[in-house]
Every structure is written in C-alpha cells, then in structure tokens.
A = this chain, B = another copy of it.
Amino acid sequence: MTRSASVAQLAPFSLAVLTSAGADEASAEAATWAMLHASLHGVDSHGIRLLPFYADCLRNGIAKPRPHVTVTYPRRAVALVDADDGLGHIATYRAMDEACAIARDCGIGMASVINSTHFGAAGAYTLAAADAGFIGFVCCNSGAFVVPHGGAKPIHGTSPISLSAPNPGGDPFLLDMATSSVPWNKVLRYRTESIELPEGVAVDGSGAFVTDPTKAMALAPVGGADFGYKGAGLAGLTEVLGGILTGMRLSSDQDGLALGDTKVGHFVMAIDPTLFMTLEAFGLGVQTYIDRFKAQPGTYAAGGPEWERRRKREADGIPLPDGLHAELADAAAKAGVTPGF
C-alpha cells in the first residue's frame, strides 16, 4: 500500500526542512505552497518531491536563502520584481500580487521577474490570481532540454504556459502545460520501469524519434513528428516574454543542470475580468464553457482532471510512493527534522 500524507502534515515538514536549509520564513512558505499546489493537483513532477532539491539549492548557493526581493514600477501598468537570486516562488507570488493590484487599477497588469530560479508549477501563481478574482497568465523559459522541430540539439526548455480564470460558482479554468509533450523525469521513470515512450515525444542524439527511453537524449516539442513546430513556437513565445523581454537568459544559455538554472526571468500578467461585466457573470461564462464538456463523458476543460485529483487528495492525502518517501526521509535527516508521516 502506498503511504500518503495530508497537507497539514506536509506543510510544517516542508517549512522545517527549508528553514533548516537557511530559508527565511517568506521564502519557505512560498516554496511550500507552490509544491503543495502541484501535489494536490496531481502534478507530481513539481510537487513535494522537489523539496530535497530546493533545500539543496539553498545549501549549495544556487538560490539565496534570504533574498531581498524588490519591486519597481517602470510604467504605470508594469512592475519589475527582482528576485535577488532567491527561490523563484516568493518572487513569482509577489509578481502575481503586483500584477493583480495593477489590473484592478488599469484593467491589465504585467510583472516581469528577474534574477530568479526555478519556480515550480506555473499554475500555482495563475490559480492564486483566479482565487483573487483575476485572470492570471504566467510563462517562462527554462534550461534547454527540448530540440527544435526537426533538430537534434536542445534549444528550448520544457518552458511552461499557464492561464487560470476565476469561477466563483465552481472550479476555475486552469491551463498549466509544458511546451514539450512529456517532462524529462517521465523519460527517467520509464527507463527505470522499462516502459516504452509514446511516439513523437523524445529523440536520440541524431534527432531521430525514439520510443526506447534508454535511447532518448532529449525531448521533442508538443505536436510530435508532424506538428512539433507548434510546440516549438509556443516555447519561443516563452523565450520572448520570459527571457528576451526581461534581459534574462535564453533557455540555451541556462546552466543545463536539471532545474538548477539561475538568472531566470518569468512573465506574469493579470487581467480584471470585471472590465466588461460582473465577476459573477464572468464566472457564469466560465462555468457554461466547462459544462459543455460534461455532455461528453471523459472530456474535460483544462484543469478538469486536476480538480478531480485535488478533491481526492484533499480527502485521502497526497500519495508518497516508497522512492519519494525515502527521499523525503533523507531530506529530513539532513535537516535534523522528524517527518510526521
């Protein structure tokens, strides 16, 4: 039987591990809530499994444990959030707060994050906007792991795009997608478990598509063998908004260490959905859209399967398979903390 743990057990544990690694309270809280967002929604690649990694980042200098996050306002609808080389979460939550505050005033607000590091699941920040009554949009580039369409060497990261829209009467719309078909840790897991990859998601060193995970050297953009130029183009959008606009690094200039990139930029935006109607009327539009899927069982609006998983995990706890449990136990030992699960 797989172990599990509740948010009430994992949150104080995560805070203790990050604090022991030097994090200030605000950094530890932001990282914890971003990881638990992902764990609750079933996005396990960005869930509590990243806790040991973030603790190591704090210890080995990849992320500053006590950053001085600063905000300036170059124009009336734009904030510039300098993450001061800390963990990406605290700066990105702050950026979304700023974008929402600007959107309340100006209708739309943008916040660029500079000097940041890995921020986990982009959906954590857009959902925070939706919970506050705003449409949230986030994207960023990330260390190059994904070949261009038809290419053999990575140019793009798995560079995520996320949009969430509020729905006071039901589940918010929540799109949170990588611009590759699968994450790299899926390739690693399929190697361990000797499972074939789907067609069109990974390539060998020559750029040929492979389904044998032991031969996979890089990921391919969403769209696969025929339409990968679309996924690559979306990754390009994240380079423009997350990398070039902010003056931060292109994916292909980042460290290439898995997730351990520094001097990362993020693009954060919020829109006030009450520009042209009440929030309730907007939410009704979102719900009407979501309801269209219910007439076709097995289909979902973006975020649908994640909300189902969230309800299950809120009830039953977040599953901790043996490997993950052991990694968290190691992180606990390193931090001198006793896990309560």
Q: A residues engaging B (CB < 8 A)?
A: 74-78, 80, 102, 105-110, 112, 135, 148-153, 155, 161, 163, 165, 173, 175, 177, 181, 198-201, 222-224, 226-227, 229-234, 236-237, 239-241, 243-247, 250, 252, 269, 271-273, 275-277, 281-282, 285-286, 288-289, 292-293, 295-296, 298-302
Residues in B neighbouring A229, C-beta threshold 8 A: 300, 302
Q: Which of B107, B161, B243, B300 contacts A110 (CB 8 A)?
A: B107
Are A76 and B74 in contact (CB-based, < 8 A)? no
Counting from the closest, the 6 A-B pairs by CB-CB distance are A75-B107, A78-B107, A233-B302, A77-B106, A244-B285, A148-B299
Are B165 and A244 in contact (CB-based, < 8 A)? yes
CA distance A269 to B300 in the complex (A): 28
Supply 24 A–B pairs (Cβ within 8 Å), ascending by A: A74-B275, A80-B275, A110-B271, A135-B240, A135-B241, A148-B293, A150-B296, A153-B295, A161-B234, A173-B236, A177-B233, A198-B226, A199-B226, A200-B226, A222-B223, A224-B224, A229-B302, A232-B302, A240-B286, A244-B286, A244-B289, A245-B271, A246-B276, A247-B277
Residues in B neighbouring A201, C-beta threshold 8 A: 226-227
Are A76 and B77 in contact (CB-based, < 8 A)? yes
Residue of B nearest to A288 (CB): B250
Are A105 and B75 in contact (CB-based, < 8 A)? yes
Q: Which of B227, B241, B289 contacts A236 (CB 8 A)?
A: B289
Are A105 and B78 in contact (CB-based, < 8 A)? no
